[in-house]
């Protein structure tokens, strides 16, 4: 990957216009609606953590710091059978585009990465990455927005307003808004945590579902928590299940994903670190297990 990274860096220095040209000529896959028309779920690989300064995996704070290592893991993941696409920020997406890995893929661009992990302003999650027009111009399938709701933090109001505006702008272009809501609490000025009990997830869903001028193109991205049939009964919106941080027994994690995928509103999985940085280091095997869960049903 060292030589490959050198070539990517050289291409960026000498021909930056190749990125825009690549997006224009990329072979697009079936639309999200076409992929879902036969009941087939989606498996998307998430790689938008670095842009928010969230580089840690299982206690290693800089596990995702090496871009060459991350690209090697993404190359393995995106070339496995059953992987439908990727969700990432513009820098990672441009690298993957230049590597020729996005042809035929479903692609979501991350929109808000301003709520940096550990910052005192973390919950004022500004839209600092892709906007709706950039997502449309690049021919992506939609935009993802992290929407953390903290009743004790005034930054939530600005985040909700910006998320609602992004939902409307994406829908006006016929693009999916993938909203990832959490009820969040601040334990210290630089420490926040998401409440992952079923009632909190349901509350976050109800708030997120009402953002924007229309919900016609709104999908949800939700964590897998206890009692997922009751949780997903709180919405009719298509829902992608968040793999979450790779903690605990992998076998039980996979089993919980499988149970959640049996609920009709579940449209597939979006998984990042749990597949890209599995405990045994075998990215291909982890991705294959997830693909079987999604497509073997």
Render pLDDT for 119-170 as a digit per residue (tens, 0 to 9): 989 999 999 999 999 999 999 999 999 999 999 998 899 999 999 999 999 9
What's the number of domains the chain is made of? 1
How confident is the model over 214-222, as a mean pLDDT? Answer: 98
How confident is the model over 94-104, as a mean pLDDT? Answer: 96
At CA 23, angle to CA 34 and CA 31, rounded to 5? Answer: 5
pLDDT at 58 over 80: yes
Print the domain residue range for 159.
32-295
How confident is the model over 24-42, as a mean pLDDT? Answer: 85
Q: What is the CATH number of the domain that holds 274?
A: 3.20.20.70
Q: Is 11 within a domain?
A: no
Residue 86 burial class via C-beta count within 10 angstroms: exposed 0-12, middle 13-18, buried 19 and up? buried
Q: Is 18 within a domain?
A: no
Q: Is 155 within a domain?
A: yes
Place of tokens 């109001």: 157
State the pLDDT at residue 38. Answer: 65
101-125 per-position pLDDT tens digit: 999 999 999 999 999 999 989 999 9
Token pair for residue 264?
């009709």
Q: Is 14 within a domain?
A: no
Q: Is 78 within a domain?
A: yes
Q: What is the 3-state secondary structure (H, E, C) of 210-257?
A: CCCCCCCCEEEEEECCCCHHHHHCCCCCCEEEECCCCCCCHHHHHHHH
pLDDT at 10 over 70: yes
Q: Which residues of 41-59 are buried (b: 16+ CB within 10 A; e: fewer)?
A: bbbbbbbbbbbbebbbbee
State the pLDDT at residue 7. Answer: 86
State the pLDDT at residue 74. Answer: 97
Q: How many CB atoms lie within 10 A of CB 178?
A: 29
Non-local (6+) Cβ contacts of 170 within 8 A are: 132, 135, 142, 143, 176, 177, 217
Q: Is 9 within a domain?
A: no
Q: Is 17 within a domain?
A: no
Q: Is 16 within a domain?
A: no
State the pLDDT at residue 36. Answer: 79
Q: What percent of the chain has pLDDT over 90?
A: 83
């Amino acid at each position: 990957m060292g030589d490959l990274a050198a070539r990517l860096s050289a291409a960026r220095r000498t021909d930056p216009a190749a990125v825009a040209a690549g997006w224009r000529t990329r072979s697009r896959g079936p639309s999200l609606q076409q992929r879902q028309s036969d009941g087939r779920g989606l498996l998307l690989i998430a790689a938008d953590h670095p842009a928010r300064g969230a580089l840690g995996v299982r206690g290693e704070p800089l596990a995702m710091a090496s871009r060459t290592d991350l690209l090697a893991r993404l190359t393995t993941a995106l070339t496995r059978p059953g992987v439908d696409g990727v969700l990432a920020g513009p820098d990672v997406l441009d690298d993957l585009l230049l590597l020729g890995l996005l042809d035929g893929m479903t692609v979501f661009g991350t929109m808000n990465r301003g709520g940096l992990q550990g910052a005192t302003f973390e919950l004022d999650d500004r839209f600092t990455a892709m906007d709706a027009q950039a997502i449309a111009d690049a021919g992506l399938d939609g935009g993802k927005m992290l929407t953390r709701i903290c009743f004790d933090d005034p930054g939530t109001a600005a985040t909700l307003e910006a998320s609602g505006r992004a939902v409307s702008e994406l829908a006006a272009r016929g693009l999916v808004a993938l909203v990832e809501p959490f009820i969040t609490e601040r334990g210290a000025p630089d420490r926040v945590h998401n409440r992952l009990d079923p009632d909190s997830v349901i509350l976050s869903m109800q708030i997120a579902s009402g953002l924007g001028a229309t919900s016609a193109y709104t999908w949800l991205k939700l964590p897998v928590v206890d009692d997922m049939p009751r949780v997903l009964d709180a919405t009719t919106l298509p829902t992608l299940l968040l793999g979450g941080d790779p903690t605990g027994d992998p076998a039980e994690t996979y089993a919980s994903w499988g149970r959640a995928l049996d609920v009709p509103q579940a449209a597939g999985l979006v998984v990042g670190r749990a597949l890209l940085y599995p405990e045994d280091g075998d990215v291909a095997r982890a991705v294959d297990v997830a693909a079987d869960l999604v497509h073997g049903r």
